[in-house]
């Protein structure tokens, strides 16, 4: 039997205070308090920033790098010859033979940089020297929903914050009357739905705000007839008073604080949103530049022009979606129509930002969720297309401190696999954050027992992409 008396409660707690466990516990509590205090107010990043804002052009469905920005003359020699691969890929061919398919598009060297572009990119060719092409990217999934989640959230299985959520969590937003992260989807949401722009486990105020492509961009934006701004202000003040009393008793329920902030933001948005969304205030020459009111450019032109207006108003992150790039057949017709719809608006966006002096501080990203294969199962006729390819894809960057006028990385002679400057999508995420002045290793959030980050683990900057 021990002769030492059992320590009293005070002595036990005092002793605990000297342990490593208590230091970690105190650190977690401090981190939680800091996270709870974070809002949308603008703040400095971890590093000097190349860009202040980001416009993310998401080509959902997986554009073919072989038919856009990565020409493969070898495919002309192999056209309709049997496609063979080894190892794990061989099992994917068991359902039938496959054949190499050449690109239906000719390629040109454009700009002083001599960038490779398919001939149907007629407008983008004019701003080629403002673009940095990267051909070395790889991802992990060939399924659209999981690949979209990995592109947008760093996690193939969803539930994590989107890129725009991480950026606004790190930097806030320069306009307190508009959401910091705005999404411009199509009528049909992308594969994986709204989880592509979710706040995940970050505080709720960092979720993306989608604007409807048809009808009122935001439902119930304006009060009912007869309700004045003064009435609204009094109602909000009363609700805020009641919520603050409740919040004192539940200090760590951040969802209540986010709800309170959303009420106030919605009230302020009533004053600013109508003017920002009204494209008819723009000069006719600007509307014509983007292709507004013309077909087939009108829909995406409106998104690109609105994106320019939003970053001009201080919105931190704007993500645009353009779908149907999943061209398993008739790629000449499918990609031809898709490029015709986005070519002029994207080129106009770059030129317009440059004209207004905003390109240097606005990072533009163009990408899909994966690339395409050099082969297809169709032989004969003209229904050639391409399948999903996680081993090679091209994305490009413009503005915001990127290494413009250069093409970085390369794929093999058929475009099947990246072979030079090979980088995972997580490295792209880390590079994007770095251009915005954020360090992925410092931009973390404590959740489910560990500090989490956008890259998940092991991401590194791709220095060749930064000027």
Which two three-digit tokens encode residue 197? Answer: 């722009």
Residue carrying the six token digits 């317009």: 352
β-bridge pairing 317-322 and 181-184: parallel
* CATH number of the domain within which 76 lies: 3.40.720
Percent of the chain beyond pLDDT 90?
Answer: 66
**pLDDT tens for each residue of 306-348:** 999 999 999 999 999 999 999 998 999 999 999 999 999 999 9
Best-predicted range by mean pLDDT (46-60, 86-100, 201-215): 46-60
Task: Output the average pLDDT for the chain.
Answer: 85
pLDDT at 29: 42
Type and span of the H or E element at 35: helix 20-37
Cβ proximity of 106 and 100 under 8 Å? no
pLDDT at 114 over 60: yes
SS3 at position 340: helix
Residue pair 73/58 in contact by the 8 Å Cβ criterion: no
**Does the structure show a pLDDT above 70 at 449?**
yes
- The pLDDT of 47-62, averaged and rounded, is 97
Bridge partners, residue 363, by sequence: 54
Q: Which helix (H) or strand (E) holds 241?
A: helix 229-249
- According to the model, what pLDDT value does residue 226 have? 60
Q: Is residue 60 part of a domain?
A: yes
Q: How far apart are CA 142 and CA 386, in angstroms?
A: 13
Q: Is residue 272 part of a domain?
A: no
Cβ distance 408 to 132 under 8 Å?
yes
Within-domain flag for 100: yes
The angle at the Cα of 303, spanning 439 to 343, to the nearest 5 degrees, equals 90
Please provide residue 8's backbone torsions phi and psi, each rounded to the nearest 5 degrees.
Answer: -75, 165
pTM of the predicted model as reported, rounded to 2 decimal places: 0.84
The tokens for 432 are: 């994007």
Type and span of the H or E element at 15: helix 9-16
What pLDDT is attached to residue 243? 66
Confidence (pLDDT) at 219: 54
> How does DSSP classify residue 422?
-
| Pair of tokens at residue 269 | 């948005």
Within 10 angstroms of residue 101's Cβ, the number of other Cβ atoms is: 25
- Selected residue with higher pLDDT from 34 and 430: 430
Residue 406 lies in a domain: yes
| DSSP 8-class letter at 337 | H
User: Distance between CA atoms of 182 and 180, rounded to whole angstroms?
Assistant: 7
pLDDT at 437: 98
Predicted confidence at residue 72, as pLDDT, reads 98
pLDDT at 73 > cutoff 80: yes
Does 261 reside within a domain?
Answer: no
Classify residue 368: in a domain, yes or no: yes
* Partners of residue 372 on adjacent β-strands: 388
**Domain membership of residue 305 as a residue range:** 18-225+284-465
Is it the case that residue 424 has pLDDT exceeding 90? Answer: yes
Q: How many domains does the chain fold into?
A: 1
Domain for residue 65, yes or no?
A: yes
Domain assignment present for 421 = yes
Q: How much is the average pLDDT of 199-211? A: 92
């Amino acid at each position: 039997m021990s002769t030492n008396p059992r320590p009293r409660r005070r002595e036990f707690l005092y002793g605990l205070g000297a342990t490593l466990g208590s230091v970690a516990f105190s650190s977690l509590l401090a981190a939680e308090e800091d996270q709870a205090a974070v809002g949308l107010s603008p703040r400095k990043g971890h590093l000097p920033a190349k860009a202040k804002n980001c416009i993310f052009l998401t080509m959902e469905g997986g554009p073919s790098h072989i038919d856009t920005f990565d020409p493969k003359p070898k495919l002309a020699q192999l056209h309709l010859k049997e496609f063979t691969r080894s190892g794990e890929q061989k099992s994917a061919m068991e359902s039938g033979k496959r054949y190499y398919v050449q690109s239906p598009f000719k390629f040109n060297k454009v700009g002083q940089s001599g960038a490779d572009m398919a001939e149907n990119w007629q407008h983008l060719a004019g701003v080629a020297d403002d673009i940095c092409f990267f051909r070395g990217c790889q991802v992990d999934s060939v399924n659209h929903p999981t690949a979209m989640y990995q592109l947008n959230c760093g996690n193939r299985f969803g539930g994590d914050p989107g890129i725009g959520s991480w950026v606004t969590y790190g930097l806030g937003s320069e306009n307190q009357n508009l959401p910091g992260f705005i999404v411009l989807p199509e009528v049909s949401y992308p594969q994986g739905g709204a989880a592509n722009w979710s706040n995940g486990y970050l505080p709720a105020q960092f979720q993306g705000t989608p604007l409807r492509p048809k009808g009122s961009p935001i439902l119930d934006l304006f009060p009912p007839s007869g309700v004045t701004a003064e009435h609204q202000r009094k109602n909000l003040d009363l609700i805020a008073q009641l919520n603050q009393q409740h919040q004192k008793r539940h200090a760590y329920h951040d969802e209540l604080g986010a709800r309170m902030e959303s009420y106030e933001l919605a009230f302020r948005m009533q004053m600013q949103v109508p003017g920002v969304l009204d494209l008819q205030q723009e000069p006719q020459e600007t509307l014509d530049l983007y292709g507004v009111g013309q077909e087939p450019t009108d829909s995406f032109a409106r998104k690109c022009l609105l994106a320019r207006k939003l970053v001009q108003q201080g919105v931190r992150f704007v993500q645009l979606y353009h779908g149907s790039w999943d061209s398993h057949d008739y790629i000449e017709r499918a990609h031809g129509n898709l490029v015709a719809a986005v070519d002029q608006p994207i080129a106009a966006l770059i030129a317009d930002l440059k004209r207004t002096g905003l390109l240097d501080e606005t990072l533009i990203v163009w990408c899909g969720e994966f690339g395409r294969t050099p082969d297809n199962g169709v032989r004969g006729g003209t229904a050639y297309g391409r399948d999903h390819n996680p081993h090679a894809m091209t994305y490009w960057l413009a503005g915001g401190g990127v290494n413009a006028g250069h093409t970085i990385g390369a794929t093999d002679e058929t475009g099947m696999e990246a072979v030079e400057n090979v980088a995972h999508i997580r490295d792209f995420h880390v590079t994007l954050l770095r251009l915005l002045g954020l360090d992925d290793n410092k931009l973390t959030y404590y959740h489910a027992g560990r500090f989490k980050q956008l890259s998940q683990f092991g991401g590194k900057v791709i220095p060749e992409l930064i000027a």
